[in-house]
Every structure is written in structure tokens, then in C-alpha cells.
Structure 1
Amino acid sequence: MPEHSNASDFASTIRVVKDVSQQSIIQKRREQREQLLKRIGQLTSTTEQTIERLYQLTR
């Protein structure tokens, strides 16, 4: 019976490690998505400023 307990503990440990690994991957993807959205926002702002300058020059 102790072997079964050890096998059960081992399986539980594997599940925990797997869950932590998945959480780590999810967190990394979330951070990458946030960085990408921030960069898109910066590019959009720059584009809007450029359009505004062009508009002012063509008035």
C-alpha cells in the first residue's frame, strides 16, 4: 500500500507542476499581449500626430 501512496503523491506532484507550468505560460502570454497592445497604442498615437501635422501643412 505505501507504493500506491507514493505513486499517488507522484501523480499529484506532476499535476501541480503541470498546472504551475500552464499558469506560467498563460502569464507570459498575458504580458506579451499587454506589451503588444501598448506598442499598438504608441504607433496609433504617432500615426494620429503625423496625420494631424500633414493636415496642418495642407490647410
Structure 2
Amino acid sequence: MIYIKFQDLSEEKQEELLQVSREHVTHIFGESIQKYVDETGADYEKLIDEEMIKNLYTYDYVFNI
């Protein structure tokens, strides 16, 4: 669960959330994505970025107002 102040939806906070999601995706799926990249020649960074954005939708957010 991610706690966010409703007033703090700044660009910096959004970047922080993206970074947390990126680290989470890399930790969980990094090896399998790298294996896929090695087999197909796909772009690793692009795949991580796509999964990072999808991953944001799996979090539960609590907004403190």
C-alpha cells in the first residue's frame, strides 16, 4: 500500500512512484525479461518501462486529504 498526500501529486512524486515501480519490476521480472531480450533482440529498457507502468496499476493507494 502506498500512502500519498492528496496535495503532493507533483512531478517529483510521480517520478518517485515510477522509480519504485521500476525497481519492483526489475527485482521480480528482470531475469525473465533479460532472457526474453536475449532470445528475441527486443529493447530491454522499453520492456521494463512498459511493465513499470502496468505495475503501477497493481498498487493500492491511500490518499490522505
The TM-score, its normalising length taken from structure 2, stands at 0.32
| Structure with more helix by fraction | 1
Q: TM-score, normalised by structure 1?
A: 0.35
Task: Give 1 or 2 for the bigger CA radius of gyration.
Answer: 1
Identify, as 1 or 2, the structure richer in strand: 2
